[in-house]
Amino acid sequence: MLIFAPILRIFTQNIFTAIGCSEYHAELAADVLLKSDLRGIDSHGVARLSGYVRLWDKGRINTKPNIQIIHETPTTATVDGDAGLGLVVAPLAMDMAIKKAAEYGSGWVSVRNSNHFGIAGYHALIAVKNHMIGFAMTNASPLVAPTFSNEPLLGTNPMCYAFPAGKYPPVVIDMATSAAANGKLEIAQRSGKQVPEGWIQDAQGQFTTDPHALKSGGSLLPLGSNRDHGSHKGFGLGATVDILSGVLSGANYGPWVPPFVSFLEPPANPPGLGLGHFVGAMRVDGFRPLEEFAADMDNWIERFKSATTVDPDQKVIIPGEPELEAETDRLINGIPLVDSVYNDLNELAARFGVANL
Amino acid sequence: MLIFAPILRIFTQNIFTAIGCSEYHAELAADVLLKSDLRGIDSHGVARLSGYVRLWDKGRINTKPNIQIIHETPTTATVDGDAGLGLVVAPLAMDMAIKKAAEYGSGWVSVRNSNHFGIAGYHALIAVKNHMIGFAMTNASPLVAPTFSNEPLLGTNPMCYAFPAGKYPPVVIDMATSAAANGKLEIAQRSGKQVPEGWIQDAQGQFTTDPHALKSGGSLLPLGSNRDHGSHKGFGLGATVDILSGVLSGANYGPWVPPFVSFLEPPANPPGLGLGHFVGAMRVDGFRPLEEFAADMDNWIERFKSATTVDPDQKVIIPGEPELEAETDRLINGIPLVDSVYNDLNELAARFGVANL
């Protein structure tokens, strides 16, 4: 099923409006989800819309949040998202970071009391549009076990670094800090396929290729998979995201980060509020004239793209390139929706009296 | 051979003075190397002293650099290291970042025209001493091939994030962005052992366990080892370090980063100057009162340390903990030097008329 982006966008916006979002917030939240679908990251787009609605049903998302700065210096701030949609709170936090960067060279905002913010790349790319380097990360519900442990204590905690270039598109490194993103596991679960060794472990902490192991006490492995291959580094990166997003803001962290799925209750006695994000922006011309930087970025991209490869037909991929290709294609040809997502969305339509897709 | 730290420190300082460093610069450079040896990272400590001297012999290190800010905003700056020792340039750049952070909340300095800066953790920890979060990274001579490529285009490009805690020591994530650091490979080369599959590939881009493959056209693999296990993420992290350190500052980047070993000539027609670093500092109390942050950091550390583990005798390691244990031990018991390093240092002593170790 292929749906054109403008149609899916208005549909998504209408659902957000129906659960109480202001027109501006609904537009923003829909834009974040659509960007994910356009960029080919189907797991984080409208496939999650009904999940956000279920969290709202449970009273865990506030669609009329009072988003406030609770602490600040000229270039740093902590924002309380008032249990709002991360899809709204995070772009507004990034706007604050950009404003600070425009005035002082850089701006950094840690966010507490928020919810899942979609793809990190969306937020970092707002900075890039302003000729800045963008940073965005978020913690998430625990699925990943630290090296040596069989207890899931960290989320897949994505981090994104985005850099403007000159004649080429921006370089966007947007990655989960686990060996494999949860979305890839879900695809394997649905198709009944095994996953490569090194993605997950079972409840006893042994490597397994069964994608369902997560549901019986298993956990995802940090980037690096095991100690010999650097999983302590993946753990360290996930910890960095957790500390900057959760501990620094006063959000929850580690095993206390509230789950995205509404059928799981948030952990008792949490040390903080909601989940946390961390976003930042630095003006390129705070370091170097923009044109000089852009010229060297183009040279960097050309050199890496022209690297010799093992398979001559498989060139080096510049981070962000496949997502932009998907975006270009899907803007023209429409966004493919699998049946389950399509039906899910039309159930929402029926419930809220919104026109069917 | 065990040498007490104060003795090794004065020795190292004397060598730096002998090649023309000011007393202050020699003290600083020696402190960086000693910190590495104390923290158990033998590959980056005094074992490299003769390497720095050989670079000075070739005129590639300027021991009387005029280190200058060439571009700045209130919270960002680019520093030209004037071909000085990275061991001197980087801590001074971090001091600038800290000064900016003290006034505006955060400070970020990109450095060009520098040389190897030792361990990233040294520089990030200067910020921690000032109740700030510290960031430090550097690019380095090309050894790591991007995903799909058999051409080494990136250094092991380390990144460090360091966080102060309360009653516990700081959390320090200091990691090469390759699957294995080059130092580990050197150990295997010396001992004639094979390395795990996933650390290196041969000239044709095939996995190999021969640690000597690097010397015959092979390359190190990015963290993640192969595409299935997320090597594109390791590549993305290495690229991030390269862009922030090299492209943003006007240093060299990618395959043009000059080699540390003096017998290899720097690449022809380099696009920039020397190699590059990127350091930064953010005031914790720019986000949250320090005591609140420290209390949550302690709680974070306690929760992760008490995670259940696969082997009850192998607890979860908090990043930075093993290095601090080494430091505590070696401050009391001395720093172990292997014979080759000991002899190397005494050759320097003879050459420069400095007292033997």
Instruction: Give the pair of three-digit tokens for residue A84.
Output: 């709002």
Instruction: Give the pair of three-digit tokens for residue B25.
Output: 């610069």
Percent of all residues in chain A with a pLDDT value above 70, rounded to a whole number: 100
- What is the CATH class of A1-64+321-357? mainly alpha
pLDDT at A12: 98
Q: Quick one: CA dihedral A110, A115, A121, A123, positive or negative?
A: negative
How many angstroms away from the CA of B352 is the closest CA of chain A? 40
| CATH 3.40.50.170, domain A67-179+221-305, yes or no | no
Find the closest chain A residue to B313 by CA distance: A148
CB neighbours of residue A241 within 10 Å: 27
Find the closest chain B residue to A109 by CA distance: B287
Q: Do B234 and A223 touch (CB under 8 A)?
A: yes
Question: Which chain A residues are closer than 8 Å to B149 by Cβ?
Answer: 307-310, 316
User: In the predicted model, is pLDDT for residue A45 greater than 90?
Assistant: yes
pLDDT at B181: 86
pLDDT at B190: 81
Give the span between the Cα atoms of B252 and B255, in whole angstroms. Answer: 8
* Exposed/middle/buried for residue B263 (C-beta within 10 Å: 0-12, 13-18, 19+): exposed
Give the span between the Cα atoms of A153 and A185, in whole angstroms. Answer: 18
Residue A131 DSSP SS3: coil
pLDDT at B222: 98
pLDDT at A318: 98
Region of A320 please: left (phi>0), alpha (psi -120 to 50) or beta: left
* Torsions phi, psi for B248 (to 5 deg): -70, -30
* Exposed/middle/buried for residue B134 (C-beta within 10 Å: 0-12, 13-18, 19+): buried
Which segments in chain B show pLDDT lower than 50?
Answer: none
Question: Which chain A residues are closer than 8 Å to B249 by Cβ?
Answer: 287-288
The candidate with the shortest Cα–Cα distance to A256, out of B284, B300, B164, is: B300
pLDDT at A339: 94
Q: Which residues pair with B281 in a beta bridge?
A: B107, B134
How many angstroms away from the CA of A202 is the closest CA of chain B? 11
pLDDT at B160: 98
A76-117 pLDDT tens trace: 999 999 999 999 999 999 999 999 999 999 999 999 999 999
Q: Tell me if ipTM is over 0.95.
A: yes
pLDDT at A187: 82
Q: Where are the domains of chain A?
A: 1-64+321-357, 67-179+221-305
Among candidates B230, B237, B308 on the partner chain, residue whose Cβ is nearest the Cβ of A149 = B308
Edge-to-edge strand list for the sheet holding B275-283: B68-72, B76-80, B106-114, B275-283, B132-138, B159-163, B171-175
Q: How many beta-carbon pairs below 8 A join chains A and B? A: 269
The candidate with the shortest Cα–Cα distance to A183, out of A40, A279, A323, A320, is: A40
User: Residue A264: pLDDT band by 50, 70, 90 thresholds?
Assistant: very high
Residue matched to tokens 């060297």: A296
pLDDT at B125: 98
- DSSP for B46-63, written as a single string: GGGHHHHHHHHHTT-S-S
A231-252 pLDDT tens trace: 999 999 999 999 999 999 999 9
User: In the predicted model, is pLDDT for residue A191 greater than 90?
Assistant: no
Give the type of residue at A10: I
Instruction: Give the pair of three-digit tokens for residue B113.
Output: 């025209």
Buried b (16+ CB within 10 A) or exposed e, B200-218: bbbeebeebeebebbeeeb
Q: Count helices and strands (H / E) in chain A.
A: 10, 12
User: In the predicted model, is pLDDT for residue A186 greater than 90?
Assistant: no
B298-319 pLDDT tens trace: 999 999 999 999 999 999 999 9
Among candidates A108, A235, A300 on the partner chain, residue whose Cβ is nearest the Cβ of B106 = A108
Q: Do B76 and A286 touch (CB under 8 A)?
A: yes
pLDDT at B147: 98
Give the span between the Cα atoms of A87 and A122, in whole angstroms. Answer: 10
Residue A156 DSSP SS3: coil
- DSSP for B173-202, written as a single string: EEE-SBSS-HHHHHHHHHHT----TTSEE-
Q: Which residues pair with B162 in a beta bridge?
A: B134, B172
User: In the predicted model, is pLDDT for residue A326 greater than 90?
Assistant: yes
Give the span between the Cα atoms of B107 and B73, in whole angstroms. Answer: 10
Residues 6+ apart with CB under 8 A from B39: B119, B121, B323, B324, B326, B327
From residue A66, how far is each of A69, A70, A89 by CA, in Å?
10, 12, 10
